[in-house]
Protein backbone atom coordinates (compact mmCIF):
# COMPACT_ATOMS: atom_id res chain seq x y z
CA UNK A 1 0.00 0.00 0.00
CA UNK A 2 1.28 3.45 -0.79
CA UNK A 3 1.27 6.34 1.64
CA UNK A 4 -1.28 8.10 -0.55
CA UNK A 5 -3.65 5.15 -0.34
CA UNK A 6 -3.16 4.86 3.41
CA UNK A 7 -3.83 8.56 3.95
CA UNK A 8 -6.86 8.47 1.69
CA UNK A 9 -8.33 5.48 3.47
CA UNK A 10 -11.15 6.60 5.75
CA UNK A 11 -10.52 3.69 8.06
CA UNK A 12 -6.99 4.95 8.81
CA UNK A 13 -8.37 8.22 10.14
CA UNK A 14 -11.28 6.59 11.95
CA UNK A 15 -8.76 4.39 13.74
CA UNK A 16 -6.55 7.34 14.64
CA UNK A 17 -9.50 9.34 15.97
CA UNK A 18 -10.66 6.38 18.04
CA UNK A 19 -7.16 5.73 19.44
CA UNK A 20 -6.69 9.42 20.31
CA UNK A 21 -10.13 9.79 21.90
CA UNK A 22 -9.66 6.64 23.94
CA UNK A 23 -6.28 7.93 25.12
CA UNK A 24 -7.79 11.28 26.09
CA UNK A 25 -10.50 9.60 28.13
CA UNK A 26 -8.14 7.13 29.80
CA UNK A 27 -5.60 9.85 30.56
CA UNK A 28 -8.20 12.17 32.07
CA UNK A 29 -9.87 9.42 34.10
CA UNK A 30 -6.67 7.84 35.39
CA UNK A 31 -5.04 11.14 36.40
CA UNK A 32 -8.12 13.02 37.57
CA UNK A 33 -6.58 13.62 41.00
CA UNK A 34 -3.39 14.99 39.54
CA UNK A 35 -5.28 17.21 37.08
CA UNK A 36 -7.30 18.63 39.96
CA UNK A 37 -4.15 19.40 41.92
CA UNK A 38 -2.63 21.01 38.84
CA UNK A 39 -5.69 23.24 38.39
CA UNK A 40 -5.49 24.21 42.05
CA UNK A 41 -1.98 25.47 41.35
CA UNK A 42 -0.01 22.89 43.27
CA UNK A 43 2.60 22.36 40.54
CA UNK A 44 2.98 26.02 39.64
CA UNK A 45 6.69 26.20 40.37
CA UNK A 46 7.79 22.67 39.66
CA UNK A 47 6.44 19.24 38.96
CA UNK A 48 6.86 17.51 42.25
CA UNK A 49 4.47 16.30 44.88
CA UNK A 50 4.39 18.27 48.11
CA UNK A 51 3.26 15.14 49.91
CA UNK A 52 6.39 13.39 48.69
CA UNK A 53 8.69 16.27 49.58
CA UNK A 54 7.20 17.94 52.65
CA UNK A 55 10.49 19.55 53.64
CA UNK A 56 10.89 21.48 50.41
CA UNK A 57 9.61 25.00 49.70
CA UNK A 58 10.26 27.81 47.23
CA UNK A 59 11.31 31.22 48.47
CA UNK A 60 11.68 34.62 46.86
CA UNK A 61 14.56 37.09 46.76
CA UNK A 62 13.51 39.22 49.80
CA UNK A 63 13.32 36.10 51.96
CA UNK A 64 16.71 34.91 50.75
CA UNK A 65 18.20 38.33 51.34
CA UNK A 66 16.90 38.48 54.89
CA UNK A 67 18.11 34.99 55.79
CA UNK A 68 21.46 35.71 54.16
CA UNK A 69 21.81 39.06 55.91
CA UNK A 70 21.04 37.61 59.32
CA UNK A 71 23.12 34.50 58.60
CA UNK A 72 20.17 32.29 59.48
CA UNK A 73 20.66 29.78 56.69
CA UNK A 74 23.36 27.96 54.77
CA UNK A 75 23.36 28.76 51.07
CA UNK A 76 24.15 26.04 48.56
CA UNK A 77 25.13 26.75 44.95
CA UNK A 78 24.20 23.85 42.67
CA UNK A 79 25.82 25.24 39.52
CA UNK A 80 29.02 23.75 38.05
CA UNK A 81 32.12 24.71 40.05
CA UNK A 82 33.51 26.81 37.17
CA UNK A 83 30.50 29.09 37.36
CA UNK A 84 30.72 29.20 41.14
CA UNK A 85 34.32 30.39 40.91
CA UNK A 86 33.32 33.18 38.55
CA UNK A 87 30.92 34.56 41.12
CA UNK A 88 28.43 33.48 43.77
CA UNK A 89 26.36 34.68 46.69
CA UNK A 90 28.82 35.60 49.49
CA UNK A 91 29.19 32.73 51.94
CA UNK A 92 27.61 30.16 49.62
CA UNK A 93 28.92 26.63 49.55
CA UNK A 94 29.56 25.03 46.17
CA UNK A 95 27.67 21.76 45.78
CA UNK A 96 27.60 21.22 42.00
CA UNK A 97 24.83 18.80 41.13
CA UNK A 98 26.81 17.32 38.22
CA UNK A 99 29.65 16.38 40.59
CA UNK A 100 27.33 14.89 43.21
CA UNK A 101 25.55 12.90 40.53
CA UNK A 102 28.80 11.52 39.19
CA UNK A 103 29.46 10.06 42.62
CA UNK A 104 31.21 12.74 44.66
CA UNK A 105 28.99 12.33 47.72
CA UNK A 106 31.78 13.70 49.93
CA UNK A 107 30.51 17.13 48.86
CA UNK A 108 27.37 16.56 50.91
CA UNK A 109 29.46 16.36 54.08
CA UNK A 110 30.39 20.02 53.67
CA UNK A 111 26.74 20.96 54.18
CA UNK A 112 26.20 22.28 57.71
CA UNK A 113 23.44 20.58 59.63
CA UNK A 114 20.81 22.12 61.86
CA UNK A 115 19.91 25.18 59.83
CA UNK A 116 17.73 25.92 56.83
CA UNK A 117 19.37 25.29 53.47
CA UNK A 118 18.84 27.72 50.61
CA UNK A 119 19.60 26.22 47.22
CA UNK A 120 19.99 28.16 44.00
CA UNK A 121 21.20 27.76 40.42
CA UNK A 122 21.42 30.08 37.41
CA UNK A 123 17.81 31.26 37.57
CA UNK A 124 15.19 31.32 34.87
CA UNK A 125 14.47 27.76 33.87
CA UNK A 126 17.42 26.20 35.69
CA UNK A 127 16.64 22.90 37.34
CA UNK A 128 19.77 21.85 39.17
CA UNK A 129 18.65 23.56 42.41
CA UNK A 130 15.40 21.59 42.43
CA UNK A 131 17.16 18.35 41.55
CA UNK A 132 19.80 18.89 44.23
CA UNK A 133 17.05 19.65 46.74
CA UNK A 134 15.29 16.42 45.85
CA UNK A 135 18.51 14.47 46.20
CA UNK A 136 19.19 16.03 49.60
CA UNK A 137 15.61 15.40 50.67
CA UNK A 138 15.98 11.73 49.74
CA UNK A 139 19.11 11.62 51.90
CA UNK A 140 17.30 12.93 54.93
CA UNK A 141 18.00 16.68 54.75
CA UNK A 142 15.05 18.84 55.74
CA UNK A 143 14.08 22.51 55.63
CA UNK A 144 15.22 22.93 52.05
CA UNK A 145 14.36 26.23 50.42
CA UNK A 146 14.75 26.73 46.71
CA UNK A 147 15.54 30.22 45.52
CA UNK A 148 14.17 29.88 42.00
CA UNK A 149 15.19 33.40 40.94
CA UNK A 150 18.73 32.19 41.39
CA UNK A 151 21.99 33.82 40.46
CA UNK A 152 20.31 35.87 37.74
CA UNK A 153 17.90 37.56 40.12
CA UNK A 154 20.55 38.03 42.81
CA UNK A 155 22.94 39.87 40.47
CA UNK A 156 20.13 41.81 38.78
CA UNK A 157 19.19 43.19 42.20
CA UNK A 158 22.74 44.49 42.59
CA UNK A 159 23.42 42.46 45.72
CA UNK A 160 27.01 41.70 46.77
CA UNK A 161 28.85 38.90 45.02
CA UNK A 162 31.92 36.95 45.97
CA UNK A 163 34.56 35.33 43.76
CA UNK A 164 37.02 32.61 44.63
CA UNK A 165 40.52 33.97 45.04
CA UNK A 166 42.24 32.29 42.10
CA UNK A 167 39.87 33.95 39.66
CA UNK A 168 39.75 37.23 41.48
CA UNK A 169 43.50 37.71 41.23
Partner 1 sequence: MLNNKYFLLFLRLVVGGVFIWAAVTKIADPLSFAQDVKNYRLVGHNLSFITAIFLPWVELVAGVCLIIGVFPRSSALLISGLLLFFIILVTITLIRGIDVDCGCFGTFSRRADLWLILEDSLWLAMSLILLFSPGNQFCLLKKAG
Among 8, 30, 142, 156, binds partner 1 (CB under 8 A): 30
Q: Smallest gap, in angstroms, from Cβ of residue 159 to partner 1? A: 27
Report d(CA 26, CA 73) in Å as an integer.
45
Q: Smallest gap, in angstroms, from Cβ of residue 163 to partner 1? A: 26
Report d(CA 57, CA 54) in Å as an integer.
8
Report d(CA 96, CA 141) in Å as an integer.
17
Residue 54 binds partner 1 (CB under 8 A)? no
Residue 46 binds partner 1 (CB under 8 A)? yes
Nearer to partner 1, 65 or 83 (CB): 83
Alpha helices in the chain, H assignment, sequence order:
3-8, 10-30, 32-39, 61-69, 81-86, 97-101, 128-138, 150-156, 165-168
CA proximity to 138, closest of 56, 75, 58, 59: 56
Size of the site for partner 1 (CB under 8 A): 33
- The residues in 127-146 that bind partner 1, with binding defined as CB under 8 A, are 127
Q: Smallest gap, in angstroms, from Cβ of residue 46 to partner 1? A: 7
- Summary count for the chain: helices (H), strands (E): 9, 5
Q: Smallest gap, in angstroms, from Cβ of residue 91 to partner 1? A: 29
For residues 163 and 86, the answer to whether their CB atoms sit within 8 Å is yes
Q: Select from 14-22, 110-118, 138-146, 152-160 the region that touches partner 1 (CB under 8 A).
A: 14-22
Query: Which positions lie near partner 1, rule CB under 8 A?
Result: 1-3, 6, 9, 11-16, 18-20, 22-24, 26-28, 30-31, 34-35, 38, 43-44, 46-49, 125, 127
Amino acid sequence: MSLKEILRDRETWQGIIIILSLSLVLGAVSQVGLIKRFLQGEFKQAFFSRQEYPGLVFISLPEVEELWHNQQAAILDSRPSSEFRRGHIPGAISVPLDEVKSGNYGLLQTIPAGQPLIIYCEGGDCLTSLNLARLLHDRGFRDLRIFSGGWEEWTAAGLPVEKTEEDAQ
